[in-house]
Amino acid sequence: MRIVVALGGNALLQRGQEPTAENQRANVRIAAAALAPFARDHELVITHGNGPQVGLLALQDLAYREQANYPLDVLGAETEGMIGYQIEQEMGNVLPADQRLATLLTQTEVDPQDPAFQNPSKPIGPVYNASEAQRLSAARGWRIAPDGDRFRRVVPSPRPRRILELGVIDLLLENGVIVICAGGGGIPVIRRDDGQLFGIEAVIDKDAASALLARELGAQALLMLTDVDAVYRNWRQSDAAAIRRIAVGEIRRLEFTPGSMAPKVDAACEFAELSGGFAGIGRLQDAQAILAGEAGTVITADPADALYWP
Residue 50 confidence class, pLDDT cut points 50, 70, 90 = confident
Active site residue ranges: 9-10, 122, 206, 264
Give the C-alpha distances (Å, rounded to integers) separating 194 from 112, 131, 162, 163, 197. Answer: 14, 42, 18, 19, 9
H-run or E-run covering 181:
strand 177-181
Residue 11 or residue 206, greater confidence: 206
- Whether 68 shows a pLDDT value over 90: the answer reads no
- Whether 156 shows a pLDDT value over 80: the answer reads yes
Estimate the crossing angle of helix 206-217 against helix 166-174, to 10 degrees.
Answer: 60
Residues 6+ apart with CB under 8 A from 110: 158, 159, 160, 161, 188, 189, 190, 200, 202, 204
- Whether 66 shows a pLDDT value over 90: the answer reads no
Mean per-residue pLDDT of the chain: 88
Q: Which of 176-194 are b and which e, b meaning 16 or more Cβ less than 10 Å from the residue's Cβ?
A: ebbbbbbbbbbbbbbbeee
Instruction: Kindly list the domain boundaries of the chain, sorted by start residue.
Output: 2-110+161-300, 120-155
Phi, psi of 269 (to 5 degrees): -65, -45
Average confidence (pLDDT) over 233-253: 89
- Whether 211 shows a pLDDT value over 60: the answer reads yes
Cα 136 to Cα 123: distance, rounded to the nearest angstrom: 15
CATH class of the region 2-110+161-300 = alpha beta
- Whether 12 shows a pLDDT value over 90: the answer reads no
Residue 272 confidence class, pLDDT cut points 50, 70, 90 = very high
3-state class percentages of the chain: helix first, strand second, coil last, to nearest 5: 40, 25, 35
What is residue 310's predicted lDDT score, i.e. its pLDDT? Answer: 47
Per mean pLDDT, which range of 51-55, 249-253, 254-258 is the poorest? 51-55
Which range, 3-17, 67-81, 168-182, 251-265, has the best average confidence (pLDDT)? Answer: 168-182
pTM above 0.85, yes or no: yes
Amino acid, single-letter form, for residue 52? P
Residue 117 confidence class, pLDDT cut points 50, 70, 90 = very high
